[in-house]
Structure 1
Amino acid sequence: MAGKWRIGIILGASVLTSGCINSIATHRGYLNDEVLLQSVQPGIDNRQSVERTLGRPSLQSEYGQPVWYYIASTTMQKPFGTPRIAEHSVTAVRFDDAGNVVEVKRTGLDEVAYLSPDADKTPTLGRERGFLEDLFGNIGQVGMGGAATGGGAGN
């Protein structure tokens, strides 16, 4: 009977720890197809042919030369861990004013900017106020404009 308990404990522990080793992959954005991305050529394609080949872009530039961005990202996350970027690619298709492809540029994980927040607060301009100043700071401030003039219907 003790042997069955040991086997059960070993099997249970192995099942529990196997979940901690495996990572969960999550893909977001454009699904990269290398053949389709390589088929877009500067000087040959235009907006219509790019849309037919690659589909609608993830983002479009709002200012300056028209640029379409196709963004793809894959993250890996261990159970109870924070997600980490495993793969990231941005394909930028730049057009001229006539709508013809001028440049196709690909960037990867080397261009990703990692931001580190400043503790638990966002720095702002202005002065620091304490709790009591926040609580009692507006006493006498509300309604002062109309009280000092003495205006009314009887004057």
Structure 2
Amino acid sequence: MINLRQAVFYEYVDDGVVEIFDRYKWGLRRLGVNFSQDLLETIVYCPHNLENTFMAFCSWVLWLKSKGEKTNPEILSETLMQALKSDRGWIPYDYQKDFLAQHLDILESPQLSLWKAAGQQLGERLRNRIISDISEEGKINFHPNSILTDEEKEKIEAFKVYIDQLYL
């Protein structure tokens, strides 16, 4: 995924900006935002209220999606860029903070969300035994020499199908 310091060629990128971006980048990506170079530079140069703007924006997009609205990634990215450039940024209302709090899983990294899904689908014991690593991009690496029963093999194949459908 995106490393803000490497993506934006600027002498100094504030640690606080990087920390906030890292907290919201997965949610923004899942909501459909395309991280163009212009958007990344706008994030780095955001004058103020970066986290509030991300919070309000994510809540707004989640609300649109809950109403069945189709969202266009280009329009979302442009809207986010305009929100970041505005004088005060977008300031979330209390109901938006509550709405986002109900959907915090959208902000999870692929590693954590896949780890949780594997625990639910396979059971924690089997998951812990067969998964060796999950990459930042969401690729699951299995232990190559695991001895498995036929039932466990079926569970793993069903999990792979589930993951493929989840991330299409």
The alignment's TM-score, normalised by the length of structure 2, stands at 0.18
More helix by share: 2
Q: Mark the structure with the bigger radius of gyration.
A: 1
Structure number with higher strand proportion? 1
